[in-house]
């Protein structure tokens, strides 16, 4: 189930900052039609840190309802307090959610033992499959391969979204875990290379606005056709990079509005609209990639 192009879905908002149901439905339909393998709802790209817990749960359940069984929904359930992550996880018990994606605790910077105990406590609080999420650049916290291996022994911790951009991590983790533990890239720019090293796909920001292209890229790579995959990835590379020219999800929301996928590109403070300089960079990336 958790292979190929999985979108880290943006959370669309209206001009007042309220959740936009119309845009959310349009995004979901776009991904179903494009063949996206799964949707991560209210992960970090979905602005989880500026949504209240009530909104967080409502958006995930809204996404699940609108998907109507057409595509698996993974719920973002991370928090920097273990009790809060457990609370969010329990919100989705018996809901039909396919799995939870749980980011490492941000700001706290716990020890490796602290990380182990954090994820262990969350996993033991639920029967839902758990996917670890490692993104040290955003959290200030890095879960090391040896700790991943310890956690992989817990039956419902089934994989990791590895977003360090350090390709050696995939090989390091592979040597320490069983073959059924799922490795997924969390970095679009290195996703293809990660699949050559054994990852099963990517949880993608780029897929928000280039879903068919990311589906094709992953299919080619997973079939072993790296020559064609590399040609496609070469076309997308500047876009992968420029979608992070300002903090995610600022650029990708701007593009999504431009493409008509969402009505407004509203963000909540402290996130601010894409600057004119950023708009020029992203526009050029769209031209280069032939995304439009």
196 belongs to a structural domain:
yes
110 belongs to a structural domain:
yes
Write the CATH number for 116.
3.20.20.70
239 belongs to a structural domain:
no
278 belongs to a structural domain:
no
Range of the domain at 109: 4-223
235 belongs to a structural domain:
no
Question: Domain tally for the chain?
Answer: 1
* Angle subtended at Cα 214 by Cα 211 and Cα 216, rounded to the nearest 5 degrees: 110
Positive/negative CA dihedral, 25, 31, 35, 41: negative
203 assigned binding-site residue: yes
How far is the first Cα of the chain from the last one, in angstroms, to the nearest whole number? 30
- Biggest CA-to-CA distance, the chain: 49
82 belongs to a structural domain:
yes
175 assigned binding-site residue: no
Residues labelled catalytic: 133, 161
pLDDT (0 to 100) of residue 142: 97
* Rounded Cα–Cα distance for residues 59 and 240 (Å): 26
Q: What does the mean pLDDT of the chain come to?
A: 97
Which residue in this structure is represented by tokens 């119309």? 22
* Rounded Cα–Cα distance for residues 45 and 9 (Å): 7
Q: Give per-residue burial for 99-108: e unless 16+ CB within 10 Å, then b.
A: bbbbbbbbeb
pTM of the entire structure?
A: 0.97
The 10s digit of each residue's pLDDT in 11-37 is 999 999 999 999 999 999 999 999 999
93 belongs to a structural domain:
yes
pLDDT (0 to 100) of residue 291: 87
202-212 mean pLDDT: 98
* Confidence check: pLDDT of 90 > 90: yes
pLDDT (0 to 100) of residue 258: 97
257 belongs to a structural domain:
no
Percentage of the chain beyond pLDDT 90 is: 98
* Confidence check: pLDDT of 97 > 90: yes
């Amino acid at each position: 189930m958790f292979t190929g192009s999985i979108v880290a879905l943006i959370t669309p908002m209206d001009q007042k900052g309220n959740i936009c149901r119309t845009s959310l439905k349009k995004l979901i339909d776009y991904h179903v039609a494009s063949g996206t393998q799964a949707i991560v709802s209210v992960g970090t790209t979905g602005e989880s840190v500026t949504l209240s817990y009530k909104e967080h749960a409502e958006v995930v359940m809204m996404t699940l309802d609108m998907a109507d069984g057409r595509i698996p929904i993974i719920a973002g359930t991370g928090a920097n307090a273990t009790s809060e992550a457990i609370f969010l996880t329990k919100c989705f018990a018996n809901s039909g959610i396919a799995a939870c994606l749980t980011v490492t605790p941000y700001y706290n910077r716990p020890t490796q033992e602290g990380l182990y105990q954090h994820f262990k406590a969350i996993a033991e609080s639920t029967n839902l499959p758990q996917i670890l999420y490692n993104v040290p650049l955003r959290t200030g916290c890095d879960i090391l391969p040896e700790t991943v291996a310890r956690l992989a022994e817990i039956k419902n911790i089934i994989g990791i979204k590895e977003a360090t951009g350090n390709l050696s991590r995939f090989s390091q983790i592979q040597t320490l875990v069983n073959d059924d533990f799922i490795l997924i890239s969390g970095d679009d720019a290195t996703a293809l290379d990660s699949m050559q090293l054994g990852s099963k796909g990517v949880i993608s920001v780029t897929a928000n606005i280039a879903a068919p292209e990311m589906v094709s890229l992953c299919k080619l790579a997973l079939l072993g056709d790296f020559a064609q995959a590399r040609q496609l990835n070469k076309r997308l590379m500047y876009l992968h990079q420029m979608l992070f020219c300002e903090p995610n999800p600022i650029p990708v929301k701007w593009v999504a509005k431009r493409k008509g996928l969402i009505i407004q590109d509203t963000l909540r403070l402290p996130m601010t609209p894409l600057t004119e300089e950023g708009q020029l960079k992203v526009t050029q990336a769209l031209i280069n990639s032939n995304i439009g």
